[in-house]
């Protein structure tokens, strides 16, 4: 019996390898798609081609009905795995980013004499955002990276209406939208967001009204990954993180809690804050809530231990992920930290 199995294995080894290789290549190609409809159409076409090819190979090289049945069973499993994996990958991308604009807030901001619209053109990309000018001349600057549902126009308008700018009155405040958000061109991903963060910083330090030695990077939610990356690549005065995460898979699981085991490999956008933190040269202020329903407190705590200079982790309870900007104690702590680093 054992010899018979070995003989079958040797006989059909090349065919099995061929099926596995083509399957892996197909899956690798499909999970690279960003467009849901196009990805599903390409998936259907590729699976059709693979099924026809495999069936022709089976009819040519396999005569035994029992062996054919085994291969056809495997083929069905391949179809299920490829279809499910591709669909999960495409849908998770659709749910991962929330590009948005707020034309009403944008038009209101244009009338605010303390606001300057930021337009950065580089490498055929257009970066757009806003700058709050609290101080004339060379001034300390906060570069802020917002959450997934934020755009710069809305954040600036909200802060004006709710009178939150008072917590930042000794700093100018800049926010440039992620690719695909607001009026910034491009498509959001960890790569494009990181690239734009570097462009934003380099633009900021080129301005005559920016104190290059007093730049604070601030991030919230998904923006904490961008902020941590930027802090690992450029010289900054301080880093402030609101509701940070350790890596991108945490964000995926906050949307669809399935990316464990082999499904981890379907995570396209890594956002590896836990690795970037190791190259940050300042001691960050980290604000996290134990009742955050999107980013587990354990994820923020894990990240807080990765900074070479240590971190100042402030733990809260009683409010959720979207409540950080509405908490007076959070804003007061940020204000206190900004004053401390400014006077250093």
**Residue ranges per domain, the chain?**
2-96, 103-343
What gap in Å lies between CA 58 and CA 4, rounded to an integer? Answer: 20
- d(CA 290, CA 285) in angstroms, rounded, equals 16
3-state helix, strand, coil in the chain (%, to 5): 55, 15, 30
Give the confidence band of 4 by pLDDT, cuts at 50, 70, 90.
very low
Query: How does pLDDT run across 251-289, given as a tens digit for each residue?
Result: 878 766 777 777 777 778 889 999 999 999 999 999 999
Confidence (pTM): 0.81
pLDDT at 147 over 60: yes
Are the beta carbons of 134 and 168 closer than 8 angstroms?
yes
Q: State the CB neighbour count (10 A cutoff) for residue 136.
A: 8
Share of the chain above pLDDT 70, in %: 86
Cα Rg of the chain (Å, integer): 25
Strands 238-242 and 210-220: parallel
What lies within 8 Å, CB to CB, of 95 at 6+ separation is 255, 256
CA distance 164 to 178: 22
Whether the predicted pLDDT of 15 surpasses 80: no
- Rounded mean pLDDT of 232-245? 97
Q: What's the CA gap between 272 and 306, in Å, rounded?
A: 12
Region 103-343: CATH code: 3.40.50.1820
> What is the torsion angle, in degrees rounded to the nearest 10, for the CA atoms of residue 264, residue 240, residue 116 and residue 212?
-110
């Amino acid at each position: 019996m054992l010899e018979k199995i070995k003989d079958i294995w040797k006989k059909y080894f090349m065919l099995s390898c061929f099926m596995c290789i083509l399957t892996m290549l197909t899956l690798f190609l499909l999970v690279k798609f960003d467009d849901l409809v196009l990805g599903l159409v390409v998936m259907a076409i590729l699976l059709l081609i693979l099924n026809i090819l495999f069936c022709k190979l089976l009819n040519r090289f396999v005569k035994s009905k029992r062996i054919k049945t085994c291969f056809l069973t495997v083929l069905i499993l391949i179809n299920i795995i490829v279809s499910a994996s591709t669909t999960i990958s495409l849908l998770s991308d659709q749910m991962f980013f929330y590009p948005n604009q707020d034309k009403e807030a944008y038009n209101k901001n244009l009338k605010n004499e303390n606001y300057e619209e930021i337009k950065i053109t580089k490498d055929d990309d257009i970066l757009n955002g806003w700058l709050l000018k609290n101080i004339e001349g060379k001034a300390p600057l906060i570069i802020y990276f917002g959450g997934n549902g934020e755009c710069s126009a809305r954040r600036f308008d909200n802060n004006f209406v709710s009178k939150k700018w008072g917590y930042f009155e000794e700093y100018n405040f800049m926010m440039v939208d992620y690719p695909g958000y607001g009026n910034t061109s491009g498509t959001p991903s960890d790569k494009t967001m990181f690239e734009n963060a570097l462009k934003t910083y380099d633009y900021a330090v080129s301005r005559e009204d920016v104190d290059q030695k007093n730049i604070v990077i601030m991030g919230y939610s998904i923006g904490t990954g961008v902020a941590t990356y930027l802090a690992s690549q450029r010289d900054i005065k301080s880093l402030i993180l609101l509701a940070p995460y350790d890596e991108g898979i945490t964000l995926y699981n906050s949307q669809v809690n399935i990316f464990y085991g082999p499904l981890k490999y379907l995570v396209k956008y890594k956002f590896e804050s836990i690795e970037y933190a190791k190259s940050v040269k300042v001691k960050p202020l980290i604000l996290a809530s134990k009742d955050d329903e999107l980013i587990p407190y354990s994820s923020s705590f894990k990240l807080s231990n990765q900074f070479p200079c240590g971190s100042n982790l402030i733990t809260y309870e009683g409010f959720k992920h979207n409540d950080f900007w509405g908490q007076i104690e959070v804003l007061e702590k940020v204000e206190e930290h900004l004053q401390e680093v400014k006077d250093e």
